[in-house]
Amino acid sequence: MSIRWSLVIPVKTLVAAKTRLAAATGPHRTRLAVAVACDTVAAALSCPLVARVVVVTADPAAAGPLAALGADVVPDPDRGLNTALRTGAAHAVRLAPGDAVGALQADLPALRPAELGRALEAAAEFDQSFVPDALDVGTTFYGVLPGRPFTPRFGGESRAKHLAVGAKELCVPGIDSVRRDVDTPDDLRAAIRLGLGKHTAAIVADLWPVTPPPA
């Protein structure tokens, strides 16, 4: 029987979200941030290996839509990203101590449930593991098996940080959508090429009905 996963997804306060997209999105930046998070959560919840999604956020503008999708929303203690993830993980373990726990970035608008499933199947083979981002610098997913310490090290060059503590890097073919986080206009163009989820696609169509987002 396959291991089931609780996924913790951290969502920033929207005023601080996607600042590197500000020039391209203007006053619609917060709308885009909510849409991207919604597509990430919706795709995760559609993955058969995912038992639940725990969203950690301090922003009611994000909490409402994400709860409506079926996420379990808990408050962000506002002491940094990794503290937020540990808070969500502790909540997940209280709900289901027998499930594996993973942290997933909230900015994966092209995420495909089947590709996430491939990553989670691979992660089930190791005590702790991670998926590097598309640039091989950051991390989009970090996970541990049931009963193992949950010690995420997101932020900056987190791929190197996770390698340094012995987490297994998951070099799985066919998981491009799991690795494609979006921070810049170039990232968004790459996600568009992969195929956006419906929430992000609607915002992008409003903003750029003819051409991709400007650099």
Which strand (E) or helix (H) includes residue 50? strand 50-57
Q: Is 6 annotated as a binding residue?
A: no
Name the CA dihedral angle for 120, 180, 39, 203, rounded to a multiple of 10 degrees.
-170
Q: Do residues 185 and 214 touch, judged by C-beta distance below 8 A?
A: yes
Report the half-sphere exposure of 195 (CA within 13 A, side-chain side): 6
DSSP assignment of 3-26 = PPEEEEEEE--GGGTTGGGHHHHG
d(CA 7, CA 27): 30
Relative orientation angle of helices 29-45 and 60-69, to the nearest 10 degrees: 30
Q: Is 155 annotated as a binding residue?
A: yes
Q: Is 139 annotated as a binding residue?
A: yes
Per the annotation, where are the binding residues for phosphoenolpyruvate? 139, 155, 158
Per the annotation, where are the binding residues? 139, 155, 158
